[in-house]
Structure 1
Amino acid sequence: MTRIVFRNANLFDSPSATLKPGATIVVEDGMVGAVSFGQLDIGDAQVFDLAGRVVLPGLIDAHVHVTATIPDFFKLSMLPQSLITAQSKDILEQMLKRGYTTVRDAGGADSGLAQAIELGHFAGPRLFIAGRALTQTGGHGDSRPAFFNGMSCACCGAVGLLGHVADGVPEVRRAVREEIRNGATHIKVMAGGGISTPNDPLDGTQYSIEELTAIVEEATAAKTYVMAHAYSPEAIQRAVRCGVRSIEHGNLIDMATAQFMAERGAYLVPTLATYAAIERHGKQLGWSEAMLEKTDRVKNQGIEALKMAHAAGVKIGLGSDLLGEMHVSQYDELKMRQAAMKPADILRSATWVNSEMMNQMGRIGVIARGAHADLIVLDGNPLDDLSIFQDSRNLLAVMKAGQFYSNHLTQASFTV
């Protein structure tokens, strides 16, 4: 693989969330070979002089559903696996072109899709998968229609099915083991109600303490961790007390719960973009009034929840949780958070914090020797305003593992 060198880069240092000018970045064999702020003998290489443009680590979206090609999980589970996979191809490619070089799937994607990307059949971000999310009977991930009995799923395992229905300690232990056996890199559990299921209250709890504890024990035994869908203070505290590593959404959090999370070292992954997108598209997608009312409730409290968590010192990751045609709003997550956080801190969430949460420190989310050569080049300063991402002309290049997937650097901006 050709050695590629970026000179005169304004490098976003994700651990400190600062820009460092005058950087030289050497890429070889898909990895970052060196980062220097002084003289560096680079030898034979393709050299890009960035003239002070900003270089960031590839972004990480820690809450996606890449197989959610339509925003109705029951209808999704009825589609042929081959169709969902074909539709996912476009979703994955567009994520990568936006500069998201790694994503953490929160339910639906399987190991075959991750392998398709790794083997080069699909262009897409590096994909970490939960497999199917664990849900109790009637829980947020149970997408079966009313009065559908006698089976744990409606489709016998179609790609895109969100939930793995399991009840009781023996069943949840087996469910975790099954998802790990099928290639899950982390485990997702539904610990409370959700907006896309009309009959479970947002402030309700799901799974017993014994079941949640068993789920975490099995994940820990497999050297991985658990992410939990939860909105209410009670659901969040129960999950964190049982050892869950990251709380997804958390819109109804209070200060006491935020402080409890900070004390326990738990992560919070807010997903503001999805509620704004659902508000725009929900009615035309056929969402019920009950579902739209719940969406409105969490949307209105999302920024305040983020402010509380940030003030309490909670480690905050970044996710979007978009569905179907709403995936195009992925950048909205960056922009919307500016009502509660500084741009530098938001970018740190999307890089360094997410890598730490996913147990991938030093590999992704940072531009440093030995990391994957995942990086993006921006024309302009994102620390001034993250709206810069929403003008595609500002994204000059996207590289994943040393390979350009988008490159708008002109002939005048590099020499060989």
Structure 2
Amino acid sequence: MAVRTGIAIAAASLLFGVPAVFSHELPAAPDPAQTPASAQPAPDARILFQNVRIFDGVSAELSPASHVLVNGNLIEKVSRDALSAPGARVVDGGGRTLMPGLIDMHWHSMFVGVPLAVALTQDAAYLNIVAGVEARKALMRGFTTVRDLGGSAFSLKQAVDQGVIPGPRIYPSGAMISVTSGHGDFRSMADLPRTLGAPGSRHDVAGDSTIADSPDEVRLRTREQLMQGATQIKLTGGGGVSSPHSPLDVVTFTEAELKAAVDAATDWGTYVAVHAYTPTAIQRAVKAGVLSIEHGSLMDDDTAQAMAKAGVWLSTQPFPDELANAFPRGSDQWLKAQEVFAGTDRTYQLAIKHKLKTAFGTDILFSSRLAEQQGMILASLTRWYTPAQALIMATGTNAQLLKLSGKRNPYRGDLGVVREGALADLILVDGDPLQDIKLIGDPDRNFLVIMKDGVIYKDSVPAR
């Protein structure tokens, strides 16, 4: 598997037409103890953004005209006074908006660009190549960080971090952990019965999903993901839309099984996120010590209260109607999608009512075309929030959830903000997204500069 994955990444670097700045020999696998995860092609020593208005990821207003100096991969200085930086590369902002890179808290790097049937049958080499293409596209949409919640994205992350291919920072979960017949169990009936201790299914081997049917198995699978570099752990606590075997109402893991994952993750200084729609599934996860509920689309008032009391995050998504139509009309998956999507409005209303810590993500699956709407999906949050609230959620707020990874956080430094000492992930927007958030939905036209880790990946500022 490792050989095939390495071939995939090497092929990807040729296939993408990666610019010369990325052209170098494929590096050997790094020693994690000696290689910084933020390694990238060497940026300009210093880059000075002049005459910009700053959306800092925290405040609901733009700053007056300001100047931002980037030194290496960090923001060194933010000032309303002119800055002197001899020898620095100068970007004339022309009064435009400088903001933090966007963060998608529910992403599936390995599955965003391929149909479900392909994801279930193709080998790792092909999936890694497609994932690399999609990683570059996500970065060029201004998403400089993603939290990957299911899929073997470890090699992709390594290639991005080493500068082999361009892409966002990746916080990987590794295989999503499910139970027999649960969301994430894509085996056929021909694969049954499962014998404990027998070799895993092809999905286990590929590292995209894995089955655990006891606290001991959950503990084992959790530790396997952490061994590979998981920054957090993902379990599926109830049925799912794309699941071939699990209705939405089922509750999968027992509280003891969930707690086994929580204990193992806590021992590694990180946390567990759980896919759950229903009140029963959510409340069981909260009782077990889970810190992030993914989706929550069918929650009720009591469940929202329980989450608020426990300080649990809600990582939910404003699913576009087009996503429901990705399934054949009238199919089980299509019917489940209608039920989930119908709950979206109430979920956001409950989150606002109970002041839940709420994160933004997209959970786009199996459609490269739909992934192009990543920014527009963010903009659709204005059904419930102001543009400023939506953009704060996708930057500074999301970054707070990322920090729950503790010492497993591979990117040491502040993300999602524009302030001195923060990591230099920045976007120069042609316009004011706090007034017109739809600017985010057309990055080709409106994002003039995209920087990640101090490296400029796009610069289309008009010459003066």
TM-score by length of 1: 0.93
Tell me whether 184-193 or 236-245 shows the greater mean CA deviation.
236-245
Q: 23, 26, 30: which one pairs with 2:73?
A: 30
Match of 2:450 in 1: 398
- 1:110 & 1:296 partners in 2: Cα distance? 30
Aligned to 1:411: 463
How far apart are 1:375 and its partner, in Å?
0.5
Structure 1 outlier segments of 4+, above 3 Å = 150-153, 156-159
- For residues 208 and 184 of structure 2, the distance between their equivalents in structure 1, rounded to whole angstroms, comes to 6
- Determine helix, strand or coil for the equivalent of 1:358: helix
Question: Alpha-carbon deviations, 1:316-367, whole Å to 9, x = none?
Answer: 1111111132322212321221111111111111111111101169521111
- Say if 2:374 is the partner of 1:330: yes
2:317 corresponds to which of 260, 267, 271: 271
Q: Aligned ranges for residues 357-372 of structure 1 at < 5 Å? A: 357-359=401-403, 362-372=413-423
8 Å CA contact 1:32, 1:369 repeated in 2: yes
Residue correspondences, number: 406
**Kindly tell me: are residues 384 and 304 of structure 1, through their superposed partners in 2, closer, same or farther at Cα, counting changes over 3 Å?**
farther
Q: What runs of 5+ residues in structure 2 fail to find an aligned partner?
A: 1-43, 404-408
Find the counterpart in structure 2 of residue 180 from structure 1. Answer: 226
Partners of 2:318 and 2:115 lie apart in 1 by 16
Q: Indicate conservation of the 8 Å contact 1:231/1:249, yes or no.
A: yes
Q: Which residue, 52, 76, 82 being the options, matches 1:9? A: 52
Alignment match, 1:131: 174
| 1:288 Cα deviation from its structure 2 partner | 6.3
SS in 1 for 2:70: strand
Tell me the equivalent position of 1:297: 339
Aligned mates of 1:294, 1:332 — CA distance in 2:
24
Look up the match of 1:114. Answer: 157
Output the amino acid matched with 2:50. Answer: R
Task: State the Cα deviation string for residues 256-288 of structure 1 (Å, max 9, x = none).
Answer: 222221221111111223x523223322xxx76
Displacement of 1:148: 1.0
Q: How does 1:2-401 map to 2 (within 5 A)?
A: 2-68=45-111, 69-72=113-116, 75-149=118-192, 150=194, 153-155=200-202, 157=204, 159=206, 162-273=208-319, 275-283=320-328, 289-325=331-367, 326-359=370-403, 362-391=413-442, 392-401=444-453
User: Does the CA contact (< 8 Å) of 2:203 and 2:209 recur in 1?
Assistant: no
Equivalent-residue separation in structure 2 for 1:211 and 1:154 (angstroms): 21
CA distance in 2, matches of 1:411, 1:181: 49
**Per-residue deviation at 1:300?**
1.7
Distance (Å, rounded) in 2 between the aligned partners of 1:152 and 1:251: 35
Q: Aligned letter for 1:7? A: Q
CA distance in 1, matches of 2:445, 2:124: 35
Q: How far apart, in 1, do the equivalents of 2:210 and 2:330 lie?
A: 24
Contact in 2 for aligned 1:173/1:215 (Cα 8 Å): yes
Unaligned runs of 5+ in 1: none
Contact 2:185 2:245 in 1 (8 A): no
SS at match of 2:448: strand
Percent same amino acid at aligned positions? 35
**1:20 Cα deviation after fit:** 1.4
Query: Contact 1:64/1:320 (CA < 8 Å) preserved in 2?
Result: yes
In 2, Cα distance between the equivalents of 1:254 and 1:152? 40
What is the CA deviation profile of residues 303-325 of structure 1, one whole-angstrom value per residue up to 9, with x for unaligned ones? 22112102210011111111132
Given that residues 267 and 314 in structure 1 are in contact (C-alpha distance below 8 angstroms), is that contact kept between their aligned partners in structure 2?
A: yes
SS of residue paired to 1:7? strand
Do the aligned residues in 1 keep the contact of 2:69 with 2:75 (CA within 8 Å)? yes
Q: How far apart in 1 are the matches of 2:253 and 2:221? A: 14
| Matching residue's letter, 1:155 | R
Q: Secondary structure at the match of 2:250?
A: coil
The letter of the residue matching 2:323 is: I
Aligned equivalents of 2:162, 2:120: Cα separation in 1: 26
Q: Deviations over 1:238-258 (max 9, x none)?
A: 112211111111111122222
Inter-partner Cα distance in structure 2 for 1:20 and 1:219: 40
Answer yes or no: is the 8 Å Cα contact 2:46–2:89 preserved in 1.
Answer: yes
Q: Is the 8 Å Cα contact of residues 7 and 24 (structure 1) preserved in structure 2?
A: yes
Give the whole-Å Cα distance in 2 for the aligned partners of 1:163 and 1:298.
Answer: 22
Find the residue that maps to 1:217 and give its secondary structure.
helix
Amino acid at match of 2:348: L
CA distance in 2, matches of 1:152, 1:252: 36
Superposition CA RMSD, Å: 1.8
SS in 1 for 2:284: helix
Larger displacement relative to structure 2 (10-19 or 85-94): 10-19
CA–CA distance in structure 2, aligned partners of residues 170 and 101 of structure 1: 36
**Does the CA contact (< 8 Å) of 2:109 and 2:153 recur in 1?**
no
Alpha-carbon separation, structure 2, partners of 1:157 and 1:123: 28
Report the CA distance between 1:158 and its aligned residue: 5.3
Moved more, 11-20 or 101-110: 11-20
CA distance in 2, matches of 1:288, 1:172: 35
